Each structure stands twice: as structure tokens, then as C-alpha cells.
Structure 1
Amino acid sequence: MRKIISVIFLSISIFIYCEIKDKKINFSEKQENSEEVKKIEFLSIHGYTKEKNKIYFAGIQLEGVDSESFEYLGDKYAKDKIKVYFAGIQLEGADLQSFEYLGNEYAKDKNHVYAFGDNSFLSTEDVDLKSFKYLGADYSKDKYSVYYGYRKLEKIDPSSFEVIFKFGKDKNNVYFYGSKIEKIDMKSFEHLGGYYIRDKKNIYFGNEKLEDVDLLSFKYMDRYYGKDKKSVYYAAGNLEDSDPSSFEVLGGFYGKDKNNVYYFDSKINNADPETFKVYTEGRYIKDTIYNAEDKNNYYYQEDIVKNKKK
């Protein structure tokens, strides 16, 4: 069974301008003068920078900001003695004194809960602001309710609710991305690691049961890989022609055994397992990028990008 996992890496880009116009920082020109570069302070990877008494977000100067009291809070949130900001824009109606960053673009003050700068994220009529907290993996709770993103979860126990990796659980149920996993045995529930969990009857990848798995011999290997005495699993599916006794996880979504090399759940044809190695960062041969190689070829993901003999 072929399982396609889409991994989305969220990154914030700081735009670099080639010309000096109005309130934009020309970083390329400042690189020529090391003393000027030293004066630019990068406050976060999310786009805030400081130069002398000026604050910028993504290269654009913030208007009316008090640079002396300016404080980066987390993700795209910041504040000074006058205002609260999200992505360089003032959060209208935010209460400065009670404003609190909670994690992963969540925040609150005495009047609102915020997510991604949005104060209509949850109705304040339903949320107990004093006890509201962000738990991780898009789960949050107050003393009355548990929430997944914008949605309140029904028939759930807030006092026992906790987050384990991408899973949520209370004393009665286990949840995956906010949806209850049906018929799981809570007394024998165990998080094996990554997306793998189990109870006394089944092994799951997320909320999907592994078919024909050997419960006694199953071992967690990596957030996407597991194996038993018969098979290697990528997500909830078997890896074609895999040998569990020799299989190892290489990183970067690669794995190999004595016979084959795999990328995600696909076998890489003609790859040499004995000499195959993976690099955590891309490398270059002239203008060709690769992130793995064996004695015969250079690879980018599962594709051969250059033959060593040519």
C-alpha cells in the first residue's frame, strides 16, 4: 500500500531589496561595509530587525514604534510600551498590560484569544480567558473545554487532556488532528514515538491501523518508519521487498536494507545500499544539487541527477 505523506515546511522569508527606497533596508549594500552590518540586529528568524533606533519587519520600517522598549515575544508577536504587533502590524484592541504570548502564534490578553494575529479566533463568550492555555499541536484548553484550532471538541475532559506529539488524549479517548480514534483501548494505550501508537489489539500510524502487523515484534524506528519480524512499514503501509533484519533509517526520508534503498515508500531503482549515504544539507557539483550518493550516482530525492562515470 502506497502512503503519500506531504510534509509542509513553514518558513518566513526576509525580503532583501536591491535599492534604497523610502523605509526599506538595503542589506546587500550594507554587506560591503562590515561596520554597518554589525549595527543591524536580527531580533528573530520571523522577520524583526533593529537598526539604531529603527525597527523593521521583513525590511519595512515600523511607524510610530518605540525602539527602546521594543520587545520580541515569539513567532510574529512583539510589543513596545505603546502597542502590540503581529507581523509588524499593530494588533488593534490588544491590551498591552495583560498581553501574553502562548506559543505557535497563539496569544491572549484579558479580552481576547489570538491565533495568527486574529482576535476573532475563538468567541470570548465561550472561552475562559483566565485559564486558557495553548498545549501544542494546535490544541488548547481552558477549565471548561478543549479546542483544536478554531473548533471546540465535544464530550472531552479538559482536566485530564494532554498532548503527546500530534495526538491529544483525555481519560476516555485519543485524538489525532482533533478527531477521535474509534475503539482504542485506553488502558493499554501507548505512544511508541512519532506518529505510531498502540493498544493491546492494534498498531496505528496516526488514526490508521497497520494490517497484518505482528504486535509482539513491532518496533518503532522513526516518526514514519516501524518494523516487525516480517515487514518494514512506512507510515501504515509495507515497504515493497524490504528486509526488516537489515533495515535502517538514514534520515531525510531515506531508508535502506541489504537489498534496496527507499525514499519515502518508493524503492530507488539500481541504488547501491552498501555505498549509499545521505547528506543533511544539499551539496553541489557545478550547478547540480544532490542530497545523497552511492558509488555510481548522485541523487536528489529519489532521482539520479548525475552519473559518476560520465
Structure 2
Amino acid sequence: MKKIIFILFLAFYCMGLGCSPAFYTYVTEGKEVYYGISGYKEGLVKLEKANADKFVIINPYFGKDNKNVYYQGGIIKDSDPATFRFLGGVSTLIGSTGYSKDKKNVYYLGNIITGADSASFTILDKVEGYGKDNKNVYFMGEKLDYADSVSFKTIGNDYTADKNAVYYKSEKLTGADPAGYTLNGHYLLSSGSVFYGKEKTGYDMNTFKVMEEFFDGNTCWNGYVYAMVKDKNGVYVRDEKIQGIDPETFKAVGAGLYEDKNYYYAGIEKLNINKKNSTLFTLESAGQIIVKDDSNVYSLGDKIENLKEKYGIDPKSFELYAVVVSLKIFKDKNNFYVNDWLYLKKTDIVPVKNSLVYIDNDMIILKSKNKIAVIDRFGTEYSEIKGVDVETYAFVKGNDYLDKIAEMEGYGTFIDKNNIYKRNPFDKHFTTVSKKISPQEYGNLKEYIIAGEAEEKRLESLKAK
């Protein structure tokens, strides 16, 4: 047993070093059953009484054979494997643990809960660690003497209630009405008051609203830290009123962007944007919003970026150019930009006359004086244009003759007035093929060049969004 304890200590120690826990579990090898860290053979502890032929792994904590039920490698005394049911109720980094029962007993982890009724016992959702039977309520396996089993329920975020009171982590909330309450994030509203944890706040209940909750993503549990809230009197972060915001019109726009009747805010940080002349663009694939006026361009999501400073974007000419497979392509007078599923990125394509070569629902092809960009669901690919006649450069789709020559059946072929080009799928460059185009052939192929329709298709893509 000491070896098992050491293994578990080592596993939790490894978890403390980061958010990739050492995965300990049951391992069967031939006629033997072991418990320990998977892949750490020297640390596996043999379960001497286990029957490997009948052994069933329930989860990393529990296992059973035809004679015994095991918790973390140890036998649960007086358990009945035939009727044993794992119930759960507590989450950990490597899976669920908590309550279980058989025809005789109720267990928390590997211990019998004395006096608990197996037939009526059930776990409660919304708040972890709670279970009840027809007589008592339990938290983490301990009986709660204050709770009424028949009426007891979990509310969420550590709030619970029965017919007598509302509770926060077993402490009674003085002034809260068990017959009427509302959970709003980590706040509970009842009897004209707003409670935060066990404390009654001074917020106005009738106008109170949780705007956003913030979690610590640097912890293994991604734990709740604080919230942005508002009522008729103001907007607050960590209970501190933020000056200058109009609470009545303050609302979320999305991706961390807020607005009131006067300004835009990244959270509570006022943006240097003229709201009257502003434009919002939503990048669905990246969960971001781009907001601009004639002086600035910002991108907001999991971080705030001033795109004017980052890329030298010209705000006045910055506009949405096209939409392809939920990707949004932007341009200003200097460059094209694409959100490439994550963040807005600057391409190497400088706008020129007739930059648009091709567009459909799946891809867009753009050109500048010496670059080609093919933008599709797989990202943006660039190639140098060597020896290409820029004025007649085009993309042809639906011509079997060209597809056969370029060996790009069904994909489409690139041409200019002199040559046929193909796109090498391995090095992602465009190369000429041996077949040259005569002036007569080029004239015959022009009907397949959809460049004349491309502008209409580009405008249609904008209307769809």
C-alpha cells in the first residue's frame, strides 16, 4: 500500500509541474493486474488478489473483478462488484471520481458513507461534490446536518438551497429567499439584493447584469477570477466603478469589444475610435472583431492589437474586399490582408489594376506585379511570377483540354497569352508546361476565363455576409 501512495504522490507532483498530468491507471498483463503511472513500469504495483481474466477498468480511479472493487489500487472493503455502480460527482484533471454505490453501501472515493441509503442515493449536478438520499445531504462524502434532503437542490457556482435557506459553500445567505432567486454568473439575486459569495453587495438588483467573467487560463483548472458587471449606477470591475462609461447604453459587441452611446471599449479600455464614422468587421473563424474609423484600426479577441501600428494599414482605404469559406480578405491602398483562421495577417500582395484573378466559394486568387496568392481553407500560398504577362494572366476552370495538358484535372489551369502554367502541389510554385499558346488558341480559350465575372462574384460574397 505504501508503494501505491508513493505512486499517487509522484503523479500529483508531476501534475504540479504543469497541466499535463501523469496518467495513472490500471494495467493488465497476462494473468496480472497492476496500478500506477502508465508507461512507468518500475512504479507499477501488482494487485495481489486481482483476477486479470475478470478485471474491468472503470476509470483511472476504479476497477473491479468478480471478487473485489478497487479504488486507486486498494480494495474497497465490503463492496459488491456485481452491483457496483460508479456515479461520479467530482471532476479531476484525469477524469471523474467521487461517489459510487452497490446494493449495500454508498461510497465516497474508496470509503463507505456510514448510514447512507443506497437505494435512494443520487448525485446532484450544477455544483460538484453533492449527493443525497431520502434522509440526508452529503458534500464530499460528509453529511450536512443543516440541509433538508427532500427540498435540497444545487444552484451553481457553489450556491445551494433547500426549503429553509439559500447557502454559499454551506454558509447561510442572510436575506436570500429560498423561494425566489436567480443565478447570474457568480452572483445570486434574491429578495432585492445581489449576493457575491456569502456577502451582500450594494448593486441594484433590478438593473444588475454580469457583462463578462474572466478566468485564469494559466491554471490547470482555468479558474474564475473576477467579473465585469453593471447596474443603473455604473460599470464595475472587481467592485470598482469605472468612470466615464454610460451604464444604460453599455453593452457587449463581441470578442471583448463593448460600446456605450459615446465610445467603443476593449473591455473597459476606451479605444481611440470615432464611433460616428466607425465600421465593425467580425471574423467568425477567429472569434475576433476589427473596428476602424478614418484614423485607427484595431483587432480585438484574446488580445488587443492596433493594426495601423502593426502593419502600417491605411485606415481610410481599409475595407472588406471578399469572403471565401468564412475567411475575410481585406485591402487598403497598400496591401491585401487575410484572417487565415487565426489573426489578421498582411500578405505580400500589393494591389494593382485587375488584382483579382479568380474567386469562387472555396478560393480567391490575387496578383501583384511579382506575386501570386492563392487563398483557400488551407491558408495562403504565395509564388513568384516569373516571365508571366501580367495583363493577360488568368485562371481557367472547366476546360478539359487545358486540364489534361497541365495535369490538374478538375482544379483549373493558369494561363497568359503565351503559356500554360500549372501549380505544383508539393513546392507550391507555378511553372510553365511545354505547351505554348498561339494567339488563336488564346482567343479560343478566353471564353473560359471568368475574370469578367470575378468582380460580380466578389460583390456577391460581400452581400452573403
> Normalization by structure 1: what TM-score?
0.61
Matched, 1:113 2:145: no
Q: Which runs of 5+ in 1 are unaligned?
A: 1-9, 30-35, 280-291, 297-310
Deviation, 1:201, is 3.2
- Equivalent-residue separation in structure 2 for 1:257 and 1:129 (angstroms): 52
CA 1:181–1:220 in 2, change beyond 3 Å: closer, same or farther? farther
Which residue identity does 2:191 align to in structure 1? K
Q: 1:212 aligns with which of 235, 244, 260?
A: 244
Which of 139, 146, 162 matches 1:142?
162
8 A contact 2:184–2:209 mirrored in 1? no
CA contact (8 A) 1:192 1:220 kept: yes
1:74 aligns with 88
The whole-number CA distance in structure 2 between the counterparts of 1:166 and 1:191 is: 9
- SS, match of residue 143 in structure 1: coil
Q: How many residues align?
A: 260
* Contact kept in structure 2, 1:176 and 1:206, CA below 8 Å: no
1:140 is paired with a residue of what secondary structure?
strand
CA displacement at 1:106 relative to structure 2: 0.8
Contact between 1:84 and 1:91, CA under 8 Å: does it hold in 2? yes
- Compared CA separation, residues 18 and 72, structure 1 to 2 (3 A): closer
Deviation for aligned residue 1:79: 0.7
Matches of 1:276 and 1:18, distance apart in 2: 46
- The residue that corresponds to 2:233 in the other structure is 201
> Does the aligned pair in 2 maintain the 1:55–1:61 contact within 8 Å?
yes
2:200 match: 180
Q: 1:52 to 1:204 in 2, by over 3 A?
A: farther
The structure whose Rg is larger is 2
Pick closer, same or farther for the CA change 1:27–1:156 going to 2, 3 Å: same
Per-residue CA distance 1:76-113 (angstroms, 9 max, x = gap): 21111122122233323433244331222111235543
Question: C-alpha separation between the residues in 2 aligned to 1:295 and 1:202?
Answer: 39
Matched, 1:231 2:251: no
| Residue in structure 2 matched with residue 15 of structure 1 by the alignment | 24
CA 1:183–1:162 in 2, change beyond 3 Å: closer, same or farther? Answer: closer
| 1:47/1:16 CA distance change after superposition, 3 Å | closer
Alpha-carbon shift at residue 278 of structure 1 (Å): 6.3
Distance 1:293 1:202, change over 3 A: closer
Are 2:25 and 2:61, in contact at CA under 8 Å, matched by a contact in 1?
no
Task: Report the Cα distance in structure 1 between the residues aligned to 2:26 and 2:273, rounded to whole angstroms.
Answer: 50
Q: Indicate which of 241, 246, 256 corresponds to 2:280.
A: 246
Instruction: Tell me by how many angstroms 1:157 deviates.
Output: 1.6
Q: Cα distance, 1:145 vs. partner?
A: 1.3
Residues 261-280 of structure 1 aligned to structure 2 (within 5 Å): 261=299, 264=302, 275=338
- Where do residues 89-128 of structure 1 align in structure 2 (5 Å cutoff)? 89-103=111-125, 104-110=128-134, 112-119=136-143, 122=144, 124=145, 126-128=146-148
Aligned sequence identity (%): 23
1:235-259 deviation per Cα after TM superposition (whole angstroms, max 9, x unaligned): xx3266689853758799x855354
Q: Does structure 2 retain, via aligned residues, the 8 Å contact 1:100–1:108? A: yes
Deviation of 1:228 after TM superposition, in Å, equals 0.5
Once residues 87 and 271 of structure 1 are traced to their aligned partners in structure 2, the CA distance between those partners, rounded to angstroms, is 54
Amino acid at match of 1:246: L
- How far the C-alpha of 1:163 sits from its partner, in A, is 2.1
CA distance in 2 between partners of 1:295 and 1:174 (Å): 47
Judge conservation of contact 2:136–2:148 (CA < 8 Å) in 1: no
Question: Do the aligned partners of 1:13 and 1:47 also contact (CA within 8 Å) in 2?
Answer: no
Asked if the contact 1:196–1:220 (Cα under 8 Å) also holds between the matched residues in 2, the reply is: no
Match of 2:79 in 1: 65
Q: Taking CA–CA contacts closer than 8 Å with sequence separation of 6 or more, which of the two structures ends up with the larger relative contact order?
A: 1
Q: Could you list the runs of 5+ residues in structure 2 that have no partner in the other structure?
A: 1-18, 42-51, 90-97, 214-226, 292-296, 314-336, 348-465
Residue matched to 1:164: 184
Partner letter of residue 156 of structure 1? A
TM-score, normalised relative to structure 2: 0.44
Distance 2:142 2:341 in 1: 41
* Aligned-partner SS, 1:257: strand
Give, as a single letter, the amino acid of the residue that structure 2 aligns with 1:180: K
CA distance in 2, matches of 1:149, 1:136: 11
Deviations 1:15-35 (A, max 9, x none): 146797865278669xxxxxx
Q: Secondary structure at the match of 2:175?
A: coil
Counterpart-to-counterpart distance in 1, 2:198 and 2:253:
25
